[in-house]
Amino acid sequence: MEKVLKPMSGYLALVISLLLLGGSAYLFIYGINDGENPNVTYIIISIIAFFVTCFLLKGLMIIQPNHSRVLNFFGKYVGSVKDNGMFFINPLYSSQKMSLRSENLQGQTLKVNDKMGNPIEIAVVMVWKVGDTYKAAFDVERYSDFVKMQSEAAVRHLAMSFPYDNLEDDHAPITLREGGEKINSILEQELTDRLSKAGIIIQEARISHLAYASEIAGAMLQRQQATAIVAARTKIVEGAVGMVDLALKKLSAENIVELDDERKAAMVSNLMVVLCGEKAAQPILNAGTLYN
């Protein structure tokens, strides 16, 4: 479990180290130049002061903003420092640098079968950062590689859980193409569940590429076009029937002309041809009677 430490400021230790370094240099020079015979005591003291200075300097630690250090003491986890600045820690501690900044991951385009077995291409882009330094440092081998592998597994699982669209599954409540924010929320939750063991926080995840695989893209496009044409024709027929019904009711209500069933059928046929035809109808003038 992560334990956040707040070590002491390193400025005092830096000043003491500089004073010891200056004193060590002074004693060493003084001991060498003390008469004809060097003063061994001063030289030994200067050497000891120099090693103490090096020991203290090893305990100084500078942490940049949005960075952290994970501290260990002979294999035992001590804690994590997340504040920025210069600090002084036990010089015997070993530290591991770890960034806390947000990072983008543009996943590679994957070819996978959707819920209906159709091969599709899918890719995601996600924003993530380290939230728990202990888990990121010790629960996985390399957390950056772990993020890449688990994100790919999450995308594959998402693609296999939903159909690409509702052409084959009319009753599908959610599809990859039309799911929108719902699909993105499911993807974020899937990534959070998989990456939480590494202490990773998912800030955002979105599908960046979604298409049928190249081997079936042409056939699926024709199918979508056919579906669109059928839907458009259905709307046209519904509108034409309504207009014909309205025309017959208007003619009957205002007593403009009396039509028997045969002439009504002919009129309906002509109106349906005009309203549902793809090209404009050519008008033909009837110079005789209604029945000739």
Q: What local confidence, expressed as pLDDT, does residue 41 receive?
A: 83
Of 135, 139, 153, 143, the closest CA to residue 194 belongs to 153
Instruction: Kindly give the confidence (pLDDT) of every residue in the chain, 292 residues in length, as a single tens digit, with 9 standing for 90 and above.
Output: 889 989 898 899 999 989 988 888 888 887 777 656 677 888 888 889 889 999 999 999 999 999 999 999 998 999 999 999 999 999 999 999 999 999 999 888 888 888 888 888 899 999 999 999 999 999 998 999 999 999 999 999 998 988 888 766 566 688 888 888 899 999 999 999 999 999 999 999 999 888 888 776 566 676 666 667 677 777 777 887 887 777 777 777 777 666 666 767 777 776 777 667 666 666 665 555 555 5
Read off the tokens for 27: 């004693």
Of 118, 112, 116, 80, the closest CA to residue 99 belongs to 80
Residue 196 DSSP symbol: G
Read off the tokens for 229: 């044409």
Distances from the Cα of 6 to the Cα of 2, 55, 84, 89, 129, angstroms: 13, 21, 10, 10, 22
- Spatial separation of the C-alpha atoms in residues 282 and 280, rounded to whole Å: 7
Q: Do 94 and 79 contact (CB within 8 A), yes or no? A: no
Q: What local confidence, expressed as pLDDT, does residue 31 receive?
A: 77
Which amino acid makes up residue 229? Answer: I
pTM to 2 decimal places: 0.68
Residue 20 DSSP symbol: H
Count the Cβ atoms, other than its own, within 10 Å of residue 76: 7
